[in-house]
Structure 1
Amino acid sequence: MISNIIEQDSYKELINSQIKDIIDYLLENNEEFAITANIEAMEFTPELPKNIKSQLSKFSLYILANYTYTTIEINDKNIMSFEAGFGSENFGSKVQLPLHSIFQIIIDDAILYLNPLATVDKFNSNPKEKSLNVFKNNPKNKNLIN
């Protein structure tokens, strides 16, 4: 069964390595590209306004070109970041996402890389939201919320 493979941490590390190598290659060759990524694993700083975030689909397209392209970084924890503008008002935010949450890497409307791991909920939930939900679900904490 495929879930026996794609839900393993060792497979996640393999995917992280492949995506990092591909993005490094594209950056070394000054090739702009786009990604679709699972927003459930992303962090936005500052947080996107609700009216903008609510318009994003679970797998949203990000075109990494021009200024956004120049801000791409990948840290040693396999987290990619870039700065982007969102919505009609071009709201600026720094996006951070684990490499394994990238579903597609796209060049010129062609898919260069496809990653099924981006669809695995086990790896793509935002740890801050998960922690907050655990906190909220504890009845002893009800008096601390609102």
Structure 2
Amino acid sequence: MLDSVINNKEFTQLMQKHMQELIVHFFSKEQNFGILCKIEDALFEPALPKEIVSEFRPLTLFFLAGYTFETAHIQDNCLIFEAGFGAENFGSLVRVPLVSIMQIIVDETPVMINLATHKSQEKSNKISNPKGVKDSMASFLSNPENSRFVKDKN
């Protein structure tokens, strides 16, 4: 029964619409947030070096704050933002299809979970190697300049 819901095209479109509405709401409130997404569907322009790509997990967390948040916008059913990766802070424009976002997170708490499994008709833009042992947060934190975006728990 659940499969007939989560594999349904209309359900996928509804989830995509809700994700877009929530993200636009966060933009309007200047609320930083994270996305947990399927990295295989993400596109990086320019392409990231292989040593950075190899660190990504199949589900990767991106935290949108500071400059990354300021550059973020939605276009053609994708969340697009600029981010720096690795110790050298290699800059790239990241394009993530909304249907590939599995969770939207605020203050370490998921505020939206996407259960839809139906693939959209749009062609996915994939990176060359989604395997790895570290997620994007580890890459983000490897740059000491990014520590200012992490909330101190003390």
Aligned equivalents of 2:90, 2:123: Cα separation in 1: 21
Q: Which amino acid counterpart does residue 78 of structure 1 have in structure 2?
A: N
Per-residue deviation at 1:123? 4.9
**Normalising by the residue count of structure 2, what TM-score does the alignment of the two structures yield?**
0.75
**Normalising by the residue count of structure 1, what TM-score does the alignment of the two structures yield?**
0.79
Larger relative helix fraction: 1
Does residue 23 of the first structure (1) align with residue 23 of the second (2)? yes
CA contact 1:41–1:124 (8 Å) conserved in 2: no
Q: Which amino acid counterpart does residue 66 of structure 1 have in structure 2?
A: G
Instruction: Tell me: CA distance 1:15–1:94, structure 2 relative to 1, closer, same or farther (3 Å).
Output: same
Aligned equivalents of 1:80, 1:38: Cα separation in 2: 13
List runs of 5+ in structure 1 lacking aligned partners.
130-146
Aligned equivalents of 1:37, 1:69: Cα separation in 2: 16
Q: Which amino acid counterpart does residue 39 of structure 1 have in structure 2?
A: I
Q: Which has the higher contact order (CA 8 A, sep 6+)?
A: 2
**1:64-75 maps to which residues of 2 (within 5 A)?**
64-75=64-75
List runs of 5+ in structure 2 lacking aligned partners.
127-154
Aligned equivalents of 1:82, 1:124: Cα separation in 2: 22
Hey, what does 2:77 align to over in structure 1? 78
Structure 1 runs of 4+ with >3 Å offset: 120-129
